[in-house]
């Protein structure tokens, strides 16, 4: 499974402060891409809004990358995709009001899966949250405590780790509010399961195979669809 380079890089023109007769007048800063879409907008309240394309340069030996997705009131929202500078897909992440929420998928430079993570994001607009309190030196919940809710994310559900050389599933973990669970149990533990099975296909993989079924030499690419 390999991703082709992005066929057309996003061209960005210098943004004007407003356009008469269109929605861009609500922004104090923005840019226009090669397709004429408004991106990287700063609203009048100073918060990021709408589609964004962010380029991070190489730093201290760490490779650079680009990511794109939606900002709502200054916070990441919905699906975000990360690419190498050359356009290879590295990650598909999901956000809820700035925090990771749902499935997060990570890939090698060759498109093989690295890991699938599950997170639960908590809504800061909800005034209170109920959290479990575990006993000292035990895995038992001794009480539930109501606390003021703050924006945060916790590991929740199944995590999968893959062999980067061939995509085979190496192990799985079950998480409950950042606590690692024993296989088949509901109490936190440092143990992990080692059940091996074929990696599940992502929604993007299934859609690509549906569109390209029977096409000779078809190769999945890294286009975003944004």
CA separation for the pair 73, 178 (Å, rounded): 27
Q: Are 63 and 109 in contact (CB under 8 A)?
A: no
Q: Which helix (H) or strand (E) holds 55?
A: strand 48-56
Burial of 90 (0-12, 13-18, 19+ CB in 10 A): buried
Structural domains in the chain? 12-121+153-212 (2.20.110.10)
Q: What is the pLDDT along the chain (226 residues), one digit of tens a residue?
A: 544 444 333 443 433 333 333 455 688 899 999 889 999 999 999 999 999 999 999 988 889 999 999 999 999 999 999 999 999 999 999 999 899 999 999 999 899 999 999 999 877 666 666 777 777 766 778 888 877 666 689 999 999 999 999 999 999 999 998 999 976 555 555 444 444 444 566 676 676 666 655 554 444 444 444 4
pTM for the full predicted model: 0.63
């Amino acid at each position: 499974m390999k991703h082709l380079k992005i066929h057309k890089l996003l061209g960005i023109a210098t943004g004007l402060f407003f356009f008469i007769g269109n929605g861009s007048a609500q922004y104090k800063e923005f840019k226009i891409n090669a397709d004429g879409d408004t991106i990287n907008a700063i609203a009048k309240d100073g918060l990021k809004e709408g589609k964004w394309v962010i380029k991070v340069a190489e730093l201290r030996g760490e490779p650079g990358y680009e990511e794109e997705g939606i900002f709502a009131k200054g916070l990441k929202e919905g699906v975000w995709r990360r690419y190498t500078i050359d356009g290879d897909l590295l990650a598909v992440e999901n956000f809820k009001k700035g925090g990771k929420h749902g499935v997060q998928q990570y890939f090698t430079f060759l498109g093989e899966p690295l890991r699938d993570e599950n997170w639960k994001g908590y809504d800061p607009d909800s005034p209170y949250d109920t959290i479990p309190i575990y006993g000292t030196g035990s895995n038992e919940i001794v009480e539930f405590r109501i606390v003021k809710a703050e924006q945060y994310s916790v590991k929740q559900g199944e995590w999968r780790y893959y062999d980067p050389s061939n995509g085979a599933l190496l192990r799985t973990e079950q998480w409950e509010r950042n606590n690692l669970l024993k296989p088949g149990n509901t109490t936190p533990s440092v143990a992990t399961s080692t059940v091996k099975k074929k990696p599940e296909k992502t929604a993007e993989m299934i859609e690509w195979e549906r569109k390209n079924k029977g096409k000779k030499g078809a190769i999945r690419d890294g286009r975003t669809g944004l």
